[in-house]
Amino acid sequence: MVDRAVSRRVLLGAGCALMGWIAAAGVQHGPERTLDERYHHLGNDRSKDWPEASVDPEGTRLDVRFESRANAGEWTLFVEQRSVDNVWRLKANGVEIAQLKAGPALVTRSYPLPAGALVAGENVLSFEPDEPNDDVVLGRVRLVEQSLRELHRSRPVRVRVRDAQNRSPLPARITAVDAQGKPALILYGERPQTAVREGVIYVPDDGASFELPIGTYSVYATRGPEWSVATQTLTLAEGGSTELEFELRREVDTRGFVAADTHIHTLQFSGHGDASADERQVTLAGEGVELAVATDHNHNTDYAPYQRSLGLSRHFTAVVGNEVTTDVGHFNGFPLKAGDALPDHKLSNYVQIVAGIRAKGAKVVILNHPRWPSHEDSPFGNHHLDPLLGRFDPPLELTVDATEMINATTEEREPMLLFRDWFALLNRGVRIFAVGSSDSHTVGEPVGQGRTYVPSASDDPARIDVDAACEAIKNGRTSIGMGIFASLRVGDGAGPGDTVSGAAKLAFELRVQAPSWVRARKAQMFVNGVVREERDVPHAENAATDARLDFELTPHAHDSWVVFVVTGDGVDGPYWPQLNAYTLAATNPVFVDVDGDGWQSARELAQRWVSAAANDDELRARLASADSAVRVHVLAAALDALGADAAKAAKAERLDALIGDGASLGESVREFRLRFE
């Protein structure tokens, strides 16, 4: 049975199975036989969640014996299956003919039975798992003496994708939906350099051939959020075939940066999802990911051999990583070495977990999806992160380098919730940076939908300096995006992760870019977690966005940090399925050191002011000149100075002396005050 740590996936497109295809399409089929009409629970654990099968498993494999004549041509097997997470091999008379397609729902799948697979007399179909602890339901096995081509009256399609600027061939994602908007049934498209699911086929540079049932389709070509979308209407009739050629334009200028996905999975090594290691290489190339960090659960995965075997090494630089999956949280560490001993995933102390990952060679450690699986039951939820003061109860020491502000396959309906968590930690002095990732486990979930844009001396995706990229991520010199790319320049050339000195007015140039199919709406400048300025992002209909927005900041009389967040509309098209209905970009913080004595967080400043204040008048003057983040930390430090045993009445009296009702000092101070009433 899949454990809790890996059963969380919300699989985009899970409903795109073959259930009902035969009946819905009204296709005609020849002699059909039910080889096994029962449902079988296979695996090693009890399950009360599957009403069609027994609670207890019957065994770890299924053999179906039947009489048949030999098949001179291709026939078709139909299998109803549920909860296939790991590799299950379908064999006919001991010869493998397919691997079962993964997915959580009870669906009907079809599998071609090659000519000559059956003999005259007794035959055996076997369903064999690579790992016997994968609990599944299999059953209702049927044999139709026709090929999928005959059943669905399918016709050949050939697709190629090119760069509109220089006509060079491109790997890409092809999405096809029928006249009702449902994912198309793509047949005969599986090859080493393709990845095929219902409605989706990733194709290599030289294109690919496949088949579609006769009918009318909308076909889209895409290559991630830095390229345009191309679409054509396709009508296939009896006896026809079609060649489609698409041109994509590079619409987002990322020169000087590479697009990284720091959180990627395969079925092969994570044990769930549906993407094989080969398919993952194809999808990475097709989505334009340039720095790909393999992060299978508790496994050091190396993509490079799979890249080389498929001829895809020129499209991206692969990094060996590991999602260290513990009972208290998930941590991505990289770079690692494929053959080395694994970090200990049975630890429960955060500091020890992170230290153990670094001891294996990782230069970057990331805390993944900090509010998953729910806001309450999660690393930040279980430690009750205080949104005002950034402290944890029970205490939690974070020694990671970064945490995910974008995880494209974790549901987060409110785009700013994670940012509020992060801002509270920055104000407390917890120096961690933001990363964006896809956390893709399947072919249908676009790998690289969430991205981290990393500065790079080389724009060649095959020659990225991994050590330099790790240093950039570790030091926050990056930005993150989900459909939108934001880059930032401060003054004469400082940027995210840098510290700028001086109390004079600061000039920020925020460049916001998005492809023509993404609508960026609003850019906000946050200073110590509060919106200081907000701008609409200019946009021309059906055109790519490239806006340079100028912001100015006159700092408070104390240090601060500045983060820019850009939000936009969700994408409705089937070519970029989203779990969260918005697009997003953000920079990492720029640290403003007003007095040149080294940057200090709101909490550090507050503690210094409280300890140095000669009297309440001096402290009240400090409060009046401070922003809201520093104010609440000053009040917290003033109460802490009373001692751990101070009564609530004494704390309230101290607050009265410093702020009265706090009405003139802003909402955060009023909220702080209400805690003692």
- Report the percent of the chain where pLDDT is more than 70: 96
From residue 190, alpha-carbon distances to 203, 238, 282, 524 in Å are 10, 23, 12, 45
- All structural domains of the chain: 28-150 (2.60.120.430), 153-248 (2.60.40.10), 251-479 (3.20.20.140), 483-596 (2.60.40.10), 602-674 (no CATH)
| Structure-derived torsion over alpha carbons of residues 650, 655, 658, 659, reported in degrees to the nearest 10 | -160
Alpha carbons 195 and 447: distance in angstroms, whole number: 13
From residue 634, alpha-carbon distances to 306, 343, 397, 617, 618 in Å are 55, 40, 22, 14, 12
User: Closest Cα partner for 471 from 370, 406, 402?
Assistant: 402
Q: Provide the pLDDT for residue 30.
A: 62
Q: Which residues of the chain have pLDDT under 70?
A: 1-30
Beta partners for residue 455, in sequence order? 257
User: Closest Cα partner for 99 from 179, 33, 190?
Assistant: 190
Strand 200-203 versus strand 317-320 pairing type: unpaired
User: Closest Cα partner for 335 from 448, 453, 474?
Assistant: 474
| Structure-derived torsion over alpha carbons of residues 319, 322, 323, 328, reported in degrees to the nearest 10 | -140
- Structure token digits, residue 554: 């006159």
Q: How many residues does the chain have?
A: 677
User: Closest Cα partner for 668 from 584, 606, 596?
Assistant: 606
Q: Provide the pLDDT for residue 272.
A: 85
Backbone angles phi, psi at 670, to 5 degrees: -60, -40
What is the gyration radius of the CA atoms in the chain, in angstroms?
28
Give exposure, 418-429, as e/b (b: 16+ Cβ within 10 Å). Answer: bbebbbbbbbbb
Alpha carbons 82 and 527: distance in angstroms, whole number: 50
612 by Cβ neighbours in 10 Å (0-12 / 13-18 / 19+) ranks as exposed
What SS3 state is found at 193?
coil
- Structure token digits, residue 310: 């498929």
Alpha carbons 370 and 352: distance in angstroms, whole number: 18
User: Closest Cα partner for 439 from 341, 307, 570, 293?
Assistant: 293
Amino acid, res. 124: V
Helix (H) or strand (E) holding 601: none
User: Closest Cα partner for 532 from 514, 509, 556, 568?
Assistant: 556
628-640 and 667-674 are packed helices; what angle lies between their axes, rounded to 10 degrees?
Answer: 30
First-to-last alpha carbon distance for the chain, in angstroms, is 50
Question: Are the C-beta atoms of residues 416 and 529 closer than 8 Å to each other?
Answer: no
Q: Provide the pLDDT for residue 134.
A: 85
Question: Are the C-beta atoms of residues 62 and 249 closer than 8 Å to each other?
Answer: no
Question: Are the C-beta atoms of residues 222 and 231 closer than 8 Å to each other?
Answer: no
Q: Provide the pLDDT for residue 13.
A: 37
